Structure 1
Amino acid sequence: MAGAAADSAGPYAVPARRLGDKARWYLPAAVTADFLGAAVPVGLVFDAAQQVRPVYCAVAAALAWTGVQALRRRYTSRALGESRGVLPVLHDWLILIGVLAVARVVTEESTPRLAALGALLPALLVTVACHKLTYRHLTAARREAQAVSRVLVVGEPAAAEDVIAHLAARTDHPYVVVGVVPVGSGALESGVPVAGRLAPQMPDAATEDPAAVLGAVRAHHADLVLVAPGARFAGERLRRVAWALHDARMELAVFPGLVEISVKRLETLSAGGLAVLRVAPPVRRGVQTALKAVLDRIGAGLGLLALSPFFLAVVLAIRFSSRGPAFYCQRRVGRDGVPFVMWKFRTMVVDADKLKAELSGSNENDGLMFKMRRDPRVTRVGRLLRRTSMDELPQLVNVLTGSMSLVGPRPPLPEEVAQYDEVELRRLTVRPGMTGLWQISGRSDLSWDETIQLDLQYVDNWSFTSDVDVMGRTLRAVVDGRGAY
């Protein structure tokens, strides 16, 4: 995203208005949706229940919901339009339920509990829908280099280049790099304008460093200074620059050198005046892993029971459309490198594995996986099953037996694992899943490096709530069908 053009005058030209400004309708839309989403259903339900003062109750519920959102800082410019998923909204909604439960006891309100709870459910749904709408609008605006923050990167050349490259490779953030202030005389190859240079050794830190950085900020109209500290730029030098930036009411952020670490695992500490960033280890045992195991077993059992008529219909469709069995069993590698047999509905001709070698030159994936958009081995029924991801449903058996999970990295083939390096092998530290970050992020359209990056992000940052969020977003990915072939 770094260097995205703002207009035809050049990739780093200053736009007519501040790029960081989001659409003005976000705030009124959010407040209106929250207020009406709570007031209208409560008013209708309480009126139907012949409550004495339904209008007052509706207004009180709406004010409570918007008040909870305001206290949780959901209406700030920094939060509006940003993706937070369903879970934070659900958390806010549960707080609302608690607040109104106390108010119900105090006021001796007599509407049936289930009716009152049902009246508040639309508030949750309307708020989630409003967030999705503003997020989509903001994402589209950022693709056009609008509603972004102009960032000035400061640091040693190698560290600054790493930060710029990482931001340029992703579009799921609001930062556009408009300039860089390297420390020392090292060369830069990113193409980002050099807004100034700092001496390799500490000069008169009280004046020279702050003046150079502030001058670069003003020249490039930066909204944020992002520092990549190193041996030559840390401690007292960084402290002096921070003072100057904050006195000028400028934002300062420091990149600690960590990538793909969830903020939930980070904790700021102070030790003898030193600001310390503690990184919690990945969750591997405890209550959350027990909840995951329970969810897997119960979800798989109920899924198999509910889908049994559908399974019969699919089996008949496969058997009548092409010769061969309805199910396809394949050897895959699971947690800690333990092999297992994975079940799927058969979507290819019976001798598909033998034909794979002949099609190796047509592989459209840049890594170890084999993928073709128009694979000639796929049957007509198989194409529909793949498009809707229904071919994966028999893996509920694998989840029930414990070899797979509902959510996790894609289960690899043994020949793929044989070529894994040390980094890629880390994918095998958790159970593979029926769905995961790879499925909700583009599936086969992703490059190999992107697939590995998403899997490692899941492995290192897993939590029970993240699994719930992924399962919720999987439905949309299945309906969308992007990358499914």
Structure 2
Amino acid sequence: MAVMNVSVPLRGLKTELPARRAPRRGLRGFPLAVLRTGILGYLGALAATWFLADRQLALPDAWTGGAVALVGTWLAYSFAAMPAYERARSYKPAIRFIELLGAAALALMMAEADSSSTIRQAAIAVLAAPAVSAASAFAHRRLLRRTPTILVGQVESVERLANRWVGRKDINVLATCSWRAPHELAPAGAVSDDSLAQVVREVLAAVSEHGARSVVIASGRAFATPALRHLAWALQRAEVECLVVADMNDHVEYLRPRRVGDQIALSLRAPNDHLMSLLAKSILDRVTAAFALVVLSPLLLVLAGGVRFGSRGPAIFRQVRTGRDGEPFVIYKFRTMVVDAETRLDALRDRNEGAGPLFKLRHDPRITRFGRFLRKTSLDELPQLINVVKGDMSLVGPRPALPSETSLYSEWVWRRLHVKPGMTGLWQVSGRSALSWEESIRMDLQYVNNWNLRLDIAIIARTFRAVLARDGAH
């Protein structure tokens, strides 16, 4: 029997289920399985063409039959030309058909063909198909976006990803197939073809049992390990999506594949790392902040009066924070503590409840009664609109850190200072004080490496919801 040397030992492979109950397969799960194929969207597109052509527009039978035949041929080709895991969610069929119709219309115009009402009505009937197809893909992406997934790889990587993906709305980990790391076993040796086939059978059995549509391989040696290459080929034949995670120490970079010579490489260039995007963000920040200051000026005056009435001292608290690229700036906030709060900090350090270098104390005695209300409602942050207008801060970005915190940053954490700090950010709308230091840093780095204006708008919208729910604020 042939023997194959592999760089990652595959002995000790095991299949595990999360604590939740696995979905039952059988007649009860049959409707959902059919729905996930996307076949209803294809049939709906064909039915829409026939209904418009025959019932609504009353086209001649020959024209109706031609339109239905054209759409049916396009749908059959699109269904067969895509892997099963893409059929339900892809916009490609609609886009490609519209491109084809556009080319046909251009050809008719160049040929000066007769644009009779029958031709126009037939075109309307045919265009119903890509519209229904796109609507079906959109519905699948929104309603069935939790892709049933099997995780495969070394125990450490699989457990880390499974824990990070708990509760996500776009992925549903049904089972894990993992093996022990090399240091837990004897030195890597030869693995027979039988062992290799066993690995493939274990994963394929889990895919079949749980109805998975995707397999994620969490292994840095995936492309160099023959067993995992064979697994990818087997999944391809089974029309199950196979993905390899580019695990970069848990910190999400913007990755874009490109070909270099005859190899596949991953580009790490951020998507908006150019002057126009930075200019657009700066203009949007300053205009929005200036408008908000004008509109909210009566509220700001009332809050300032509440701070002065609640305790002696100025209404505005000024503090040096670290800005973009480590440049210091003075941040403005409504004062929520007594005026000698800084001098009383050392006496409270042994009661610190914050993570990492952050100091947090849920029942901090330095906070005034009105200041506690401001913190609970996040209204103490409103004077930072002045910082945004001045250009020190952005509406959305990492939390503005103290110099004492940034002095403790490692090299990879310093990356969060490559953009302006923000009044709100990804970690602020994802748990705020309830998050661990590592998780908040990971979210800040995820924002820095992947920011765009659409993400900023989504974070601002989530900020209002988090403030109303008082999520993680104290």
- If the length of structure 1 is used for normalisation, what is the TM-score? 0.65
Distance 1:351 1:239 in 2: 64
Of 387, 391, 400 in structure 2, the residue corresponding to residue 402 of structure 1 is 391
Tell me which amino acid in the other structure corresponds to 1:153.
Answer: V
The SS at the match of 2:216 is: strand
The corresponding residue for 1:40 is none
Asked whether the equivalents of residues 357 and 405 of structure 2 are also in contact (C-alpha less than 8 Å), the reply is yes
Distance 2:379 2:29 in 1: 42
Q: Give CA-to-partner distance per residue, 1:376-408, whole Å, 9 cap, x none.
A: 221221112111111011011111111111111
The SS at the match of 1:437 is: coil
The SS at the match of 1:378 is: coil
C-alpha distance 217-244 of structure 1, shift in aligned 2 (>3 A): closer
Asked whether the equivalents of residues 253 and 268 of structure 2 are also in contact (C-alpha less than 8 Å), the reply is no
Distance 2:323 2:447 in 1: 15
Of 243, 248, 251 in structure 1, the residue corresponding to residue 238 of structure 2 is 248
The corresponding residue for 1:6 is 20
C-alpha distance 322-185 of structure 1, shift in aligned 2 (>3 A): closer
Of 380, 392, 404 in structure 1, the residue corresponding to residue 369 of structure 2 is 380
Tell me which amino acid in the other structure corresponds to 1:169.
Answer: R
Matches within 5 A, 1:63-78: none
Residue 436 in 1 paired to residue 428 in 2?
A: no
Of 288, 299, 303 in structure 1, the residue corresponding to residue 292 of structure 2 is 303
Measure how far apart 1:440 and its partner are.
Answer: 0.7
Distance 1:320 1:373 in 2: 24
Distance 1:376 1:4 in 2: 43
Residue 187 in 1 paired to residue 178 in 2?
A: no
Measure how far apart 1:306 and its partner are.
Answer: 1.2
Residue 389 in 1 paired to residue 384 in 2?
A: no
The corresponding residue for 1:168 is 163
Tell me which amino acid in the other structure corresponds to 2:152.
Answer: V
Asked whether the equivalents of residues 151 and 158 of structure 2 are also in contact (C-alpha less than 8 Å), the reply is no
The SS at the match of 2:173 is: strand
Distance 2:289 2:234 in 1: 58
C-alpha distance 288-361 of structure 1, shift in aligned 2 (>3 A): same
The corresponding residue for 1:467 is 456
Q: Give CA-to-partner distance per residue, 1:188-229, whole Å, 9 cap, x none.
A: 9xxxxxxxx9x854644xx75244312443167352433244
The corresponding residue for 1:214 is 201
Q: Which has the higher contact order (CA 8 A, sep 6+)?
A: 2
The corresponding residue for 2:70 is none
Q: Give CA-to-partner distance per residue, 1:319-360, whole Å, 9 cap, x none.
A: 112211111111111111111111000111111112222221
In terms of mean alpha carbon deviation, does 385-394 or 366-375 score higher?
Answer: 366-375
Residue 316 in 1 paired to residue 316 in 2?
A: no
Asked whether the equivalents of residues 256 and 266 of structure 2 are also in contact (C-alpha less than 8 Å), the reply is yes
Asked whether the equivalents of residues 368 and 416 of structure 1 are also in contact (C-alpha less than 8 Å), the reply is yes
Distance 1:343 1:229 in 2: 46
The corresponding residue for 1:118 is none
C-alpha distance 17-384 of structure 1, shift in aligned 2 (>3 A): farther
Asked whether the equivalents of residues 323 and 400 of structure 2 are also in contact (C-alpha less than 8 Å), the reply is yes
Matches within 5 A, 1:405-420: 405-420=394-409
Asked whether the equivalents of residues 438 and 451 of structure 1 are also in contact (C-alpha less than 8 Å), the reply is yes
Residue identity (%): 40
Measure how far apart 1:277 and its partner are.
Answer: 3.6
Measure how far apart 1:260 and its partner are.
Answer: 4.3
In terms of mean alpha carbon deviation, does 346-355 or 219-228 score higher?
Answer: 219-228
Of 423, 438, 445 in structure 2, the residue corresponding to residue 449 of structure 1 is 438
Measure how far apart 1:22 and its partner are.
Answer: 10
Distance 1:22 1:459 in 2: 42
Unaligned runs of 5+ in 2: 1-15, 41-56, 58-77, 79-83, 99-114, 116-138
The corresponding residue for 1:149 is 148
Of 232, 247, 259 in structure 2, the residue corresponding to residue 257 of structure 1 is 247
Asked whether the equivalents of residues 320 and 402 of structure 2 are also in contact (C-alpha less than 8 Å), the reply is yes
The SS at the match of 1:353 is: coil
Distance 1:152 1:133 in 2: 23
Asked whether the equivalents of residues 175 and 206 of structure 2 are also in contact (C-alpha less than 8 Å), the reply is no
Measure how far apart 1:279 and its partner are.
Answer: 3.3
C-alpha distance 322-466 of structure 1, shift in aligned 2 (>3 A): same
Tell me which amino acid in the other structure corresponds to 2:430.
Answer: S
Distance 1:343 1:187 in 2: 54
C-alpha distance 483-22 of structure 1, shift in aligned 2 (>3 A): farther
> Rg bigger for which structure?
2
Of 20, 24, 35 in structure 2, the residue corresponding to residue 16 of structure 1 is 24
Residue 339 in 1 paired to residue 341 in 2?
A: no
The SS at the match of 2:342 is: helix
Unaligned runs of 5+ in 1: 8-13, 32-55, 57-70, 83-87, 96-105, 107-129, 139-146, 189-196
Asked whether the equivalents of residues 326 and 345 of structure 1 are also in contact (C-alpha less than 8 Å), the reply is yes
C-alpha distance 262-202 of structure 1, shift in aligned 2 (>3 A): same
Measure how far apart 1:250 and its partner are.
Answer: 3.4
The SS at the match of 1:325 is: coil
Distance 1:132 1:347 in 2: 44
C-alpha distance 286-131 of structure 1, shift in aligned 2 (>3 A): farther
Distance 2:243 2:382 in 1: 45
Distance 1:150 1:201 in 2: 30
C-alpha distance 184-431 of structure 1, shift in aligned 2 (>3 A): closer
C-alpha distance 267-77 of structure 1, shift in aligned 2 (>3 A): closer
Q: Give CA-to-partner distance per residue, 1:10-57, whole Å, 9 cap, x none.
A: xxxx54348999989x99xxx9xxxxxxxxxxxxxxxxxxxxxxxx9x
Asked whether the equivalents of residues 20 and 149 of structure 1 are also in contact (C-alpha less than 8 Å), the reply is no
In terms of mean alpha carbon deviation, does 234-243 or 281-290 score higher?
Answer: 234-243
Q: Give CA-to-partner distance per residue, 1:257-295, whole Å, 9 cap, x none.
A: 3454366x42354753x4444333463332110101101
C-alpha distance 402-230 of structure 1, shift in aligned 2 (>3 A): closer
Distance 1:346 1:230 in 2: 49
The SS at the match of 1:290 is: helix
C-alpha distance 21-153 of structure 1, shift in aligned 2 (>3 A): farther
Distance 2:438 2:431 in 1: 13
Distance 2:441 2:226 in 1: 39
Distance 1:134 1:443 in 2: 28
Matches within 5 A, 1:113-124: none
Distance 1:417 1:132 in 2: 40
Distance 2:218 2:275 in 1: 36
